[in-house]
Structures are given as C-alpha cells and as structure tokens.
Amino acid sequence: MNDGLDPFDRASLIAAHDEGHAFDAVVPPIVQTSLFTFKDYDEMIASYRGERVRPIYTRGLNPTVRLFEEMLAKLEGAEDAIGFASGMSAISSTVLSFVEPGDRIVAVKHLYPDAFRLFGTHLKRMRVEVTYVDGRDEEAIARALPGANLFYMESPTSWVMDTHDVAALAALAKAEGIVSVIDNSWASPVFQQPITLGVDLVIHSASKYLGGHSDVVAGVVAGSKELVGRIRSEAYPYLGGKLSPFDAWLLIRGLRTLPIRMKAHERSALAVARRLQDHPLVEAVCHPGLGNHLPAGLLGTSGLFSFIFREGIDVRRFADHLQLFKLGVSWGGHESLIVPGEVVLAQKAQPNSAAAFGISPRSVRLHVGLEGTEALWSDLEAALDAASSG
C-alpha cells in the first residue's frame, strides 16, 4: 500500500486544531458547536481580516470537519479537501463553481442518476449544456472536449460498471485546459487515486465506503488548493451544504478501517460474481474484475456490481426469496443489498431514461457486504433456484 494511504497515521489526528485540549485521546473529540467566541475585539477583527485562521462559525470552519478533510486529502494524495452534507451537495457545489450560463460540460454516459438529473434540471435552466459521450470511446471524448468548460467522469459507472482509462481521459481534458472531475465513490481512494492519474478534482459520496457503516449521509471533494479554494470561497459557504461535526466524526472512524473493509468487499464480491457468471440463469455479469487484468488505473474492485438475468426469469421471486441480501438502495456499508433494475426504471423522478443510465429491466444490482462469502452465496443460490422454478 502506498505511503499516502494510511488512515492509521496519528500525525493527521494530532493536527486536530484543538491546541492540546484532546487529552491525548486516541479518538479526536467532536467539536459539536455552531459558533466560536473571541477573547476580545482585537482577536475578533483579526479573524475577520483573515490574519488568523481560526473557526468562527461551523458553516465556515469546524475542527472535526477539518480533520476529516485533511485525512481524506491525504488518502487521495490531494492538497486539500472539503466535506459536504451529501454526495449530491459535493457534486452540485463543485459543478456550480466551474460553470456559468452558456457554458458546456462534457460528461461520460451512464452517470449516477441524480447527477444526470441535476444536469437535466438546474443546470439546464441555467443554460448550461451537457454533452454525453461514452467514456470508453477516447476519440469521441477528444472530439467533444474542445470549447467545453468542465469534464465530468465516473469510472466505473454506477450500474453497468463501464470502466474508462481515467489517466488517458484526464490527459485529453488537460490538453484543452479543461478542469476534470471524477466521482470516485465506487473504488474509494484504496482502489483508485485519480489525482495521481491526472484528474483535477475527486468527488465522493462519503455515505458509501468512506463512512462504511450505513449511518452517515455525506460527501467530499479533493484536489489542489487552488481549485478546492474556488469551491470553498463561493459554493461552499453560500449554497451551505456543510458537513456536520458529528457526521465528520463518524467518517473519521470509517476511514480508519477503509483499507481492510475494501479488501473484504473485493474478495467476497469477486467470489460471488464468478459463481453468478457460471450460473445458468445469468446472461451477463457487469463487474470490472472478471477479465484477465484490471482496467487501467484500477488497483482493485469493490463490492458493488450488477448482473443481467436471461429472458423469462421472475426477478420478483428472486428478490423476495433472499434472506441475507436486503432490498435497499445505497451501498458501501457492512450489509449486503440488492436493487432490481425494474424498480429504478419505475421511479417517477425526471428526467428519467433507461438509456441514460444503461439499466436493463432484467438486471439486478448487488452490493456485497462484509458477511461471510459462503453464507452470501447460499442465499443467492436459494433465490436463484426459487426464480427458476417459478
């Protein structure tokens, strides 16, 4: 594991900005306060002038949130990071910091559905145009980029798990002087470090693997001081989607076990995916780790993937027969989950389009959690038997 990736490192914990008031506790305190008071007038005016960086109000700076940001920046090999109240808040604040009316975004196809909907609603009303291109087609990306203002990536993509050569795509954007952004929630910094691949800004839904315990909704963006500073100075304080101190504290806890959790998700998910691939009811498995070698830039694979049933299989019987796998959205926690594609396609949110997300009604998305692999496979096998006898 590389040097940048050590969530056990106490140096980042010691930088807790609390000037020795943590009693050398192994777990940093939660600074659960909305505001911070000043000794006197001079101290207050010095803070407002920016002569001294210290917390004033938690929407701006909070020590617990800052500690999480520093840990995450270190894991991503980035200079700086900002925490948000959700992954979508991180996405919207980032995008809104880099586009204005009349601008154009180039985005890869099959994006996370709510990012796609943000682009098709708010950004559309702002007269920001979005060109969608298959991220596997580097020539098409190169043709689309000139004149664009932002390049938005996700690899692997949310449902069909397309993987892209992130370094090659980032280089194309760099050559055009376009800021590149990637949603790295799936791989986590353990299995993909986009900054080292040349991407400018890395976004996470921290609700997924960074938190890892299904008890936090949060987001984060990492990148250079300059680009993160641009988000920090406008979208962050005025849109106000601030990460709370308690959620930041839960994320600090989550980061400590991130590398070992990711390895466990990888091992079990690969075992389950290989067995599904050999199962007679299954037409295809969309998992980036099933080839002879990993796609470029990926150091490993996580617990989220999908598969497609052959024609005529009763997905409802399969879903209702599962015991260990629960029906539920989101992913990245300890528990195993499934989402049938039919259910997502039935969602009323607009804009909605099967083509945009690449979701087949015969597909099922699985998140393989931290339960035992054999128990997970028996559960799936029994449900597959139930579906075939239907």
Ligand X SMILES: *Cc1c(COP(=O)(O)O)cnc(C)c1O
| Residues forming the active site | 59, 112, 183, 208
Binding of ligand X by 217 (CB under 6 A): yes
Binding of ligand X by 207 (CB under 6 A): yes
The DSSP letter of residue 40 is S
Token pair recorded at residue 198 = 């040349």
Binding of ligand X by 268 (CB under 6 A): no
Q: Least CB distance from residue 194 to ligand X, whole Å?
A: 13
Sign, CA dihedral 371-374-379-383, equals positive
Q: Least CB distance from residue 159 to ligand X, whole Å?
A: 10
One symbol per residue from 27 to 66: x for binding ligand X (CB under 6 A), - otherwise; what is it? ----------------------------------------
Quick check: bond before 101 cis, omega within 30? no
Question: Taking CB positions, which residue lies at the least distance from ligand X?
Answer: 87
Sign, CA dihedral 287-290-294-295, equals negative
The DSSP letter of residue 35 is B
Instruction: Select 344 or 384, whichever has its Cβ closest to ligand X.
Output: 344
Alpha-helical (H) ranges within the chain are 10-14, 41-48, 63-76, 87-98, 113-120, 122-125, 138-144, 166-175, 188-191, 225-233, 235-239, 245-256, 258-277, 315-321, 341-345, 354-357, 373-388
Binding residue (CB under 6 A) for ligand X from 205, 268, 301, 363:
205
Instruction: Select 219 or 297, whichever has its Cβ closest to ligand X.
Output: 219
Token pair recorded at residue 138 = 């580097």
- Write the single-letter amino acid at 43: E
Coil, strand or helix: which one is 344? helix
Q: From 11-19, 189-197, 200-208, 279-287, give the range in contact with ligand X by CB under 6 A.
A: 200-208
Number of residues that bind ligand X (CB under 6 A): 12
d(CA 265, CA 361): 26
Binding of ligand X by 302 (CB under 6 A): no
Instruction: Select 156 or 289, whichever has its Cβ closest to ligand X.
Output: 156
Token pair recorded at residue 388 = 């075939």
Token pair recorded at residue 36 = 């911070």
Cβ neighbours for 120, distance < 8 A, ≥ 6 positions apart: 130, 350, 351
Binding of ligand X by 219 (CB under 6 A): yes
Binding of ligand X by 192 (CB under 6 A): no
Token pair recorded at residue 155 = 């690899």
Least Cα distance to 80 among 89, 69, 90 occurs for 69
Instruction: Select 112 or 236, whichever has its Cβ closest to ligand X.
Output: 112
Binding residue (CB under 6 A) for ligand X from 88, 96, 161, 195:
88
Binding of ligand X by 112 (CB under 6 A): yes
d(CA 166, CA 188): 14
Quick check: bond before 351 cis, omega within 30? yes
Q: From 49-57, 58-66, 80-88, 372-380, give the range in contact with ligand X by CB under 6 A.
A: 80-88
Token pair recorded at residue 212 = 């890892």
Binding of ligand X by 285 (CB under 6 A): no
Q: Least CB distance from residue 156 to ligand X, whole Å?
A: 9
Q: Least CB distance from residue 319 to ligand X, whole Å?
A: 20
Binding residue (CB under 6 A) for ligand X from 87, 212, 303, 333:
87
Binding of ligand X by 86 (CB under 6 A): yes
Instruction: Select 85 or 308, whichever has its Cβ closest to ligand X.
Output: 85
In the window 146-185, what residues touch ligand X (CB under 6 A)?
Answer: 158, 183, 185
d(CA 368, CA 361): 21
- Write the single-letter amino acid at 369: G
Instruction: Select 219 or 300, whichever has its Cβ closest to ligand X.
Output: 219
d(CA 139, CA 214): 39
Instruction: Select 58 or 205, whichever has its Cβ closest to ligand X.
Output: 205
Q: From 204-212, 270-278, 281-289, 341-349, give the range in contact with ligand X by CB under 6 A.
A: 204-212
Q: Least CB distance from residue 143 to ligand X, whole Å?
A: 26
Binding of ligand X by 309 (CB under 6 A): no
Coil, strand or helix: which one is 129? strand
Q: Least CB distance from residue 217 to ligand X, whole Å?
A: 5
Instruction: Select 207 or 244, whichever has its Cβ closest to ligand X.
Output: 207
- Using CB under 6 A as the criterion, which residues of the chain lie in contact with ligand X when the complex forms? 86-88, 112, 158, 183, 185, 205, 207-208, 217, 219
